[in-house]
Every structure is written in C-alpha cells, then in structure tokens.
Structure 1
Amino acid sequence: MPAWLGLINLLGVGLIVAITLAAFHTAWSLTHPPRRTYAWAVARRVPGDPGELDPPRSYEAFTFRGCRTDLPAWRVPGDNPDGPTVVLTHGWGSSRVGGLKRLDPVLPHAKQAILWDLPGHGESPGSARMGTDEHRDLLALLDTLGNGPIVLFGWSLGAGVSIRAAAEDAGEHDIRAVVCEAPYIYPLTPARNVIRLRGMPYRVNLPLAMGGIGVRLGVGPHWAGFARDRHAAKLGQIPLTVIHGDADPVCPIADGQAIADAAPNGRLIVIPGGGHNNLWTDPQFREPAAKAIADAVRAASAAPYHPA
C-alpha cells in the first residue's frame, strides 16, 4: 500500500473517531444539563426557595413518585382560595428555582402553586429525558393534588411537557387551561440553536447525538410521537395560551405560532422584541408576559371544565 494511501486511511479513521466522540459528548451534555440547585441560587445571590422571595412566601417541600423515581416539589399557598392550582414546569437546564420569578402574576389568582424539578434537573435524580416521557411525571404529580381546577404553566421544555400531559390526561383531572412560554415543536431546534449560540460545532455531531438519544429514550432516531403541535391539536376545548418573544433565538416564534394554531382553542401572545431568557429579567418584556399569565389564571377560575 502506498504511504499516501495509508495516511488517508489513518486520517479517515481519525475523523470517524473525532465525530463519534463529538456526538457522544453532545449527547451527554444534552442529557446532563447544568444543575440549578439551592447552592446555584446562593452563589448568584438570587432566591433559592419561596421563603427568600420579597416578600417571603410560606411553602411546603414534598416529594412525589414520578414514573421512575421520587421527584422534589414545592407547594406555595396562593391568595385566592377559590382559584386554581397552578403547576409550573421548567425548561431544559432550569429547575423549580426558575419558577420563583414567575410566581408574582400567579399567586394573587391561584389557590396554590406547585413547582417541581424534572428528572435530571435541579435536585431530581437521573438524567434529562428531553421531553420524551416527563408528561407521565407531571400526571403523577397531578394525582397528588386532589380535586379542583388546575392550570398547567410551562416554559420551553416544560411547555411541551404541559401540552402533552393535558392532551393525554383523558379527563382524569380538572385541567382548565394550559399556558406555554416559548414552546418548540421538535427538540432538535432548540438544541441546535443553543449549541450554535455557544459557538460550538453542531452540523454533524448534533443529528447523530439526537438520533442516539431518541433510540435510548425509546422514541427512535426520528423522535416519533414528539411533535408538540400534534399534541396541541388534541387539547379539545382546553384553552391554550402561547406566550412567545418574536426575537427568541432558541425557540423560533414560528413554532409557537404553529402550536397555537394547532390547538382548537389556542391563542398566541407575541412579546415584541422578547427573547428566550429575558422575558422575566427585562421590565419591558416582564410586564406583558406577567399580564398574559395572570389573565389566563384568572380566567381559569371561572372557566367550565373541558376535558381533552
């Protein structure tokens, strides 16, 4: 064999190894996001539990049995004893700590708010399941809440989890409304955008990583059955409010529009100039986002029961 041909073969093997390692690293990073725990909050001098809000809120910490393991949650009493229970489900790389800044528009109109950590996030054990079956964990959480109206409020990853939970609830719980902040249809979209924004390679390694994750999590390389717009179409008359910044670089507003359009009783509220992570940190975006959520929770108190 000519020396140059051997060199080409060696380079080819090296390239395959490099791509394989990059795909494995990408898959590991996606299923093991940074943990936003109480210690994370303390290090950044932000509230780490409801008792550290201004003003402080009383709360109860509890665990419930998800579809695989015990998961931690907080129960925060609201100001309206006749209002709904609002269940907040966070996004990828976040935790129930991320829900604290969203409580202001919720608690005045709610009986209580429930915040929980998805598997592989916050203080929950395991690895992230990327929205493949966390709706089962959410439904298990609803089983612990007893009777009464419920509003599901999720953002990013948690938005899709909330939509699917409501779509598959089959009338077991009194779900009066679903509120989604910055949802997406397929997980490849936000994964690609997050990696691209970090200046990291994604064109070859990411599709391989997502295919491998899909196989491992039981949805196959093409993520069969994941499309959030198709789940939204099964909500029946349950109101779906989609809140989306039109400058979101992670989850494009086109996805939010498609999800809202697919729901029989859906609507899209556009936050002009809003991004993905600044709706609750920039006052110009926080005010319209908070109003949309408060309106949805308030309306749920008087809404008739519409099982999906």
Structure 2
Amino acid sequence: MTFSELVRLWLVPPTFPAPSFPIAPREFTLTLGAVPLEGFPAERYPEVLGAHKTVACYEWPGDGPTLVLAHGWGGCAAQFAGWIKPLTQAGYHVLSYDAPAHGASEGTLASAPANAATLKALIEWQGKPVHGIIGHSLGAIATTLALAAGVPVTQAIFLAPICYVSDGLKNHGLRHGLTDSEADGLVAYFQAEFSTDLSLLTALARVSSPPPLTLFHDRADESVPFAEAETIAAHWPGAQLVEVPRVGHTRILLARGVIQQALSVLAG
C-alpha cells in the first residue's frame, strides 16, 4: 500500500455497539460548512475534515448550565448514556453529537478536526455560554482543537484522553507491514499533508487561556497509556489528574464513581 492508501484506511473509524439513551433526547441535525475548522486543508481533503457533512445532534433540556459531551474515535453520543440521567437530574442542559462517519452522521472518513468542527458548530448553534465539555479519548483532542478555534468554555473534563495521534498512526503502519523507519515516514507524510501532528499539546499551545481541566484515567488502560494523561496534566495549567482503577478505556464511561466525581467538579 502507498502512504496515501494507508492513511485513508486509518481514517475509517471502527464501529462499536452503543447503549440506548435512558431519556429520549430531542434529535436534530446540523450541516458543517466548506471549511469546518480553520487551519486544516478542507479544500484538499473535504471528507476527512467533515466539509458539508450533515451530523446528528442530541439535546436534553434543562434550566441549568450547558454541558457538551464529546465522544472519541469510533464512538458516538450514546456512549454517554450513563451520564444523561445524573446530568439532567442535576439540572444541566446537555448536548451531544455524532461526529462525521460516526453514529447516525454522514461520512466514511473521520478525523479529530472533523470531530472538533462538529463540537464547535453545535456550541455556536445553541448560542449559550458553555459551562463544561466532557471529552472521552479522541474527544479530548477535539475539545482542545475547539478551544484553539475560540470556543468559550468554563471548564473541561477529559476521560481516558489521547495526547498523541501519531502513535496510533505509526502502529497502524507497523501492523500493515511497514518497517519502523517506514512507519516514521508514514507519520511524516500525514503531518505534511494535513499541516499538523494532531497532538493535543500542539492544539493546547494555540489556546490563549485554557479553562480548568480535570482528567480521569486508568493506569491499566490498554488502549491509551496513562502516561498520556500525565503529559497533558503536566502541560495544562492547573490541571488535576485523577487515577481511576479497574475501568479500562471504554468502561470509564460507565463508572458511577467517575460520574459522581465529575458532577462534583462541575458544581465547583
């Protein structure tokens, strides 16, 4: 395979089963623009970056502050099913979405910038100050990209966050028979084509005033190393890292203790 073919294959997200929402949301759609997120080559890679894609969005009304739930790679809004009842019972106005090529949204190829563009479009659509964004896995990078694009948020919570997308791309190349040096070349090709390394730290450097951040991560997470959360916490001013044992990478979304701690953080 060529580098171009390998990258395209890598940008097809997996699909995972997701639970039903315990409380039915109001469902609606938004259509992303021709340049969904500034700074990325949407004219060359419109599908990867979500240009003109119609995305599924979800709303649970509430009289309290607005929260937005940002899913990760291969995920969807329904992965936050366990959060909906506690958040709405606490009075929050809750929003979520399926990024392009995820859940009920259009598309075949996906990326962190496309996820971030959807998050940004949803926040701009609802037109209210956002009290908090809760981002899982790649949703942490999407959140940081949205912050870099000027989305105003009071605070952020990351669950099992990814810091370095390039590690996943290099492993993808190795799985498809590349040598170590060839896999490094694949990463360099991607970075040149998309004008970014898609590191959370690179996005963070463009955030003028990062909001308070709390991170939850399992040291035994086999999908994303705990060290990535430690790196984010070390570079994000004032960040608090909470170690959560025995929940793994995806089950952290179902951990009641994490939900309750997040509620305490949000309540200030």
Matching residue of 2:265: 296
Matching residue of 2:11: 31
Structure 1 residue 77 displacement after superposition: 2.4
Identity, % of aligned positions: 22
Structure 1 residue 187 displacement after superposition: 0.5
Q: For structure 2, which runs of at least 5 residues remain unmatched after alignment? A: 37-50
Q: Does 1:60 align with 2:44?
A: no
Which digits, 9 at most, give the CA deviation of each residue in 1:61-114, with x for residues without a partner? Answer: 111132222211111124xx2x22111111101112212233244323343211
Structure 1 residue 235 displacement after superposition: 5.8
Q: Does 1:188 align with 2:166?
A: yes
Structure 1 residue 125 displacement after superposition: 1.9
Which amino acid in 2 is paired with 1:146?
A: G
Which amino acid in 1 is paired with 2:56?
A: P
Matching residue of 1:13: none
Give distance in 1, aligned partners of 2:90 and 2:183: 42
Could you tell me the TM-score, scaled by structure 1's length?
0.70
Residue aligned with 1:75, SS: strand
Cα contact 1:62–1:73 (8 A) shared by 2:
yes
Structure 1 residue 128 displacement after superposition: 3.6
Moved over 3 A (4+): 23-26, 190-196, 199-216, 230-235
Matching residue of 1:271: 244
Give distance in 1, aligned partners of 2:86 and 2:169: 29
Residue aligned with 1:62, SS: strand
Check 1:107–1:131 CA distance in 2 against 1; reply closer, same or farther (3 A cut). same
Matching residue of 1:248: 221
Check 1:25–1:273 CA distance in 2 against 1; reply closer, same or farther (3 A cut). farther
Structure 1 residue 185 displacement after superposition: 1.9
Of the candidates 102, 124, 128, which is equivalent to residue 147 of structure 1?
128
Q: Does 1:117 align with 2:88?
A: no
Cα contact 1:179–1:241 (8 A) shared by 2:
yes
Which amino acid in 1 is paired with 2:259?
A: A
Q: For structure 1, which runs of at least 5 residues remain unmatched after alignment? A: 1-19, 300-308
RMSD of the alignment, in Å? Answer: 2.8
Give distance in 2, aligned partners of 1:176 and 1:127: 33
Matching residue of 1:260: 233
Structure 1 residue 227 displacement after superposition: 2.5
Structure 1 residue 296 displacement after superposition: 2.5
Matching residue of 1:11: none
Check 1:109–1:297 CA distance in 2 against 1; reply closer, same or farther (3 A cut). farther
Cα contact 1:236–1:263 (8 A) shared by 2:
no
User: Which structure has the greater CA radius of gyration?
Assistant: 1
Matching residue of 2:256: 287
Structure 1 residue 189 displacement after superposition: 2.5
Check 1:203–1:239 CA distance in 2 against 1; reply closer, same or farther (3 A cut). farther
Matching residue of 2:61: 77
Cα contact 1:152–1:162 (8 A) shared by 2:
yes
Give distance in 2, aligned partners of 1:110 and 1:201: 51
